[in-house]
Amino acid sequence: MAIDYDGRRFRPVGTDEHEAARQAVYHQRDDLLWGEFSGGDARRGTLTGTVAEDGGLDFVYGVVLTDGRVVAGSCRSVPEVLDDGRIRLTETWQRYGKHAASGVSYLEELPGAQAGPGPHAHGPGPSDSADPGSTGSAPAPAPGASTGENTP
């Protein structure tokens, strides 16, 4: 299933109010994926990884929380196309370090939320040394990188 994630915005579903307030925006160039998220208890988070031919995502993430904690982990996301054409991601994640945990969470694409291209919407070019996680787009709340016991 070929999915272009560039500019798509997602939010966690079935989570507490702090996580539900997060939003994420994804960017893609070829098989390279990166994104930003914020909102709720996430001050700022980023993710970087790859998109498989089947549309699955493998990425690592890091987030600074409003309480000052820094959380990092990895995630495998499996896409499902909903009846209305939006994408739902089932995320199997694990968090590293002293806040280690693992679990499954869900993200759904926001309706009509395809973001307009920012300065790096298609990724850094050959002469562009910009960090893939640093785009001109405003930070969007986090993918399922949750900080609760049952979410990343």
Q: State pLDDT tens for residues 13-56.
A: 986 776 778 999 999 999 999 999 999 999 999 999 999 999 99
d(CA 25, CA 59): 14
Whether residue 118 is predicted with pLDDT greater than 70 in this model: the reply is no
Go through the domains of the chain in sequence order and give each one's CATH number.
8-109 (2.40.128.30)
d(CA 138, CA 13): 21
pTM, entire model:
0.74
Q: State pLDDT tens for residues 59-110.
A: 999 999 999 999 999 999 999 999 999 999 999 999 999 889 999 999 999 9
Q: State pLDDT tens for residues 127-140.
A: 333 333 333 333 33
